[in-house]
Structure 1
Amino acid sequence: MACDKSFCSNHLLLSPEKAGVIDLLRILIYSDVHKREFVDSSEEGEESFERRWIMFVSILAQKLLLLVAKPLSLIGSVIEFWLNFLSSNRNFGRLLVNCFRGKVMPDRESASYISIVGYLDKRVELDNRIRPGDSEYHAALSMMASKASYENKAYLQTTITHHWQMDFLGSYNFWNDYQRKVTTQAFMLRDRDTIMVAFRGTEPFNAADWCMDFDLSRYELPGVGNIHGGFMKALGLQKTLGWPKELDPLLKTPAPFAYYAIREKLRSLLGENDKVKYVLTGHSLGGALAILFPAILAIHGETWLMERLEGVYTFGQPRVGDDKFGEFMERVLKEHRIAYFRFVYSNDIVPRLPFDDSASMFTHFGRCCYFNSKYEGNVIPEEPNKNYFSPLQVIPMMMNAWYELMRSFMIAWEKGPSYKEGLLLRIFRVIGLLIPGIPAHIPQDYVNSTRLGGSQLFLHQQ
């Protein structure tokens, strides 16, 4: 199926399914990569070794993920099932009761069934010390919504309506035209005069999600800059149509495209009341989609929707474009007075990827809302150690990982029982001793940051 690339002025598309082992080796040896079948590029000539190395890593990672997709999904399902099984049958007596009731096996569609991400941080209630109107309120609510986005529809509906006392507007699954499957998820809620759209991040055992993260294909849009290809595909880029402003009404897909479906839903909801505005949020991959959504609105000239957008809150968001794209977005956000808060906790590895260098061409824009491991917040131009792999940072990161592990045993005593960390999260803390930055990406520390350091951070911004 031919890909429509007429919407962009320049492109580099990587197709891992077309690359064999010999092809991968050739990337590192020969510089004429644009002649290869698995590379579709509008550029000609030779590529530097640095860029060829990035292509090699991107394609190799995707090929390995595609190879282990089914067993990876099975492992995740088994772990998730047993976590829920043990939780719903806490002891032998409860197991016997459930046997008589015929409810021994957990129901994956029930409100009590929780994802692996949910078991890392099981908090449901909002912090009652942060009230509507407080400077950190939307940040704290956005992070809880971003964490909840990993859960099923029943969980979301119960949490939002019964615990948060807000209106649940629906959860949605979206089609990825390149992977030919449903990969993107989001939900919407209404809190008084604010509608919130929360995009789900990368699920730990979902190979399709990881492939989008590692897909370093890119599209350069005229006057906009280069944008991460994997995230564009997740948001609704289509193979045969590219990125049209309006969809063909005759187009049939198993599920809607994320950008177009959410845009239409917002048009309908916002049209009912001129006072209502909306907020976009997401953790990890979800954060990337949250900030790309207004970018596409601006490209399509959706001025009315841009004017109703109050803010974008992302947590652990990876880089989504080059410096030219960053300049474009800063102009757009300033013109429409849209607040953009990019939260980064400590040594979280994800906001430091893809690398910010001349080879990868990706960079962050806007200010960074940075929290250290003591949950002290500050607004800075860029997170420390922006590319993660600095040799000078190895020892400080290892020491910080030990501190976070020890803190996990003490924080409930210091901050209260709602901050207690479970066994599963402590296992991740131990992994962090070997690979610092992995457990720092877990929602737990971002929730803690918005609750314990949010007021301090927003005070710095004023």
Structure 2
Amino acid sequence: MSNIVSKTARDYAQLAQRAYTTPPLIGAEASAARAIVEGNAVAFPGTNNVACWLADLDAATVNEPGYGTLHAGYRRAFCSIQGPLSLLPPPDVTVGHSEGAALAILFAAALCQARRPPKEVYAFEPPRVSADGTLAALFAAHGVAVHIYRNGEDVVPLVPRVLHAWQHPAPVIPIGKASLPVPNVEDHFINHVVAAL
């Protein structure tokens, strides 16, 4: 009999929640990118400091071979910890909430490029990272299951909205009941995501 316990989306949402309070193994607490490791998963917290807000607001694009057209702020934030992340054993799962979900997607893409793809990505309430279909094709080519969740009417998975054909690398999975009947930030909080799952 196997001792392996199957994890659910709620388990991974709780891991994303713990990433906010657990000291980072990778990156500095006050930086735009940091990560924790639990078992076979690497998790990234979302926006909770000035550096994160600056990354969120840097919605210019950068063209990266193999990755396509990306959100410049998230790409820069990810690059700041890519070296230390590459020294970890390849995880089976990358996880994040909000800006952290964007970083989880980019880490999974980097693992695919390194021919060490994860099995799954759990992205809770991510902003859009890509302005073309390159990331979606990369994940499909490597058999990575990408789970993108949007709670209620959370506005964050709808941004950025202007200038480019911003998109997610997989269909968005709706969960929960909206706090308000219009796009809002109340539905974005990780504790609401955990409750919805």
Taking structure 1 as the reference length, the TM-score comes to 0.39
> In the alignment, what sits opposite 1:266?
89
> In the alignment, what sits opposite 1:187?
36
Alignment deviations for residues 281-334 of structure 1 (CA, whole Å, 9 cap, x no partner): 000000000001122334xx411x11xx110001010000112xx2x2222222
Please provide the CA RMSD for this pair.
Answer: 2.4
> In the alignment, what sits opposite 1:310?
119
Q: 1-side partners of 2:64 and 2:27: how far apart?
A: 27
**Which of 43, 50, 54 in structure 2 is aligned with 1:198?**
43
Q: 2-side partners of 1:183 and 1:366: how far apart?
A: 24
Instruction: Pick the structure with greater CA Rg.
Output: 1
Question: What amino acid does structure 1 have at the position aligned with 2:5?
Answer: P
Q: Which runs of 5+ in 1 are unaligned?
A: 1-130, 154-169, 176-180, 237-256, 268-276, 375-399, 403-434, 451-462
**Count of residue pairs brought into register by the alignment:** 194
Q: 1-side partners of 2:20 and 2:85: how far apart?
A: 18
Q: 2-side partners of 1:346 and 1:183: how far apart?
A: 26
Give the structure, 1 or 2, with the largest relative contact order (CA under 8 Å, sep 6 or more). Answer: 2
With over 3 angstroms needed to count, the CA separation of the structure-2 counterparts of 1:282 and 1:223, relative to structure 1, is closer
With over 3 angstroms needed to count, the CA separation of the structure-2 counterparts of 1:346 and 1:188, relative to structure 1, is same
More helix by share: 1
C-alpha contact 2:109 2:139 (8 A) present in aligned 1: no
> In the alignment, what sits opposite 1:147?
17
Alignment deviations for residues 438-459 of structure 1 (CA, whole Å, 9 cap, x no partner): 1110112210122xxxxxxxxx
Q: 1-side partners of 2:169 and 2:76: how far apart?
A: 21
Question: What amino acid does structure 2 have at the position aligned with 1:329?
Answer: L
> In the alignment, what sits opposite 1:232?
75
Superposition pairs of residues 15-414 of structure 1, within 5 angstroms? 132-133=5-6, 137-153=7-23, 171-174=25-28, 182-190=31-39, 195-203=40-48, 206-222=49-65, 224-236=67-79, 257-266=80-89, 278-298=92-112, 301-303=113-115, 305-306=116-117, 309-323=118-132, 326=133, 328-355=134-161, 359-373=163-177, 400-401=179-180
Q: CA deviation at 1:223?
A: 5.4
Helix, strand or coil for the counterpart of 1:172?
A: coil
1:444 maps to 2:196: no
Q: 2-side partners of 1:185 and 1:196: how far apart?
A: 14
Q: Which runs of 5+ in 2 are unaligned?
A: none
With over 3 angstroms needed to count, the CA separation of the structure-2 counterparts of 1:150 and 1:231, relative to structure 1, is same
With over 3 angstroms needed to count, the CA separation of the structure-2 counterparts of 1:182 and 1:330, relative to structure 1, is closer
C-alpha contact 2:31 2:52 (8 A) present in aligned 1: no
Helix, strand or coil for the counterpart of 2:180?
A: helix
Q: 2-side partners of 1:310 and 1:365: how far apart?
A: 15
Question: What amino acid does structure 1 have at the position aligned with 2:143?
Answer: R
Taking structure 2 as the reference length, the TM-score comes to 0.88
Percent identical pairs in the alignment equals: 26
Question: What amino acid does structure 2 have at the position aligned with 1:172?
Answer: I
Alignment deviations for residues 188-224 of structure 1 (CA, whole Å, 9 cap, x no partner): 011xxxx110001001xx2221111010121112454
Q: CA deviation at 1:361?
A: 3.1
Helix, strand or coil for the counterpart of 1:265?
A: coil
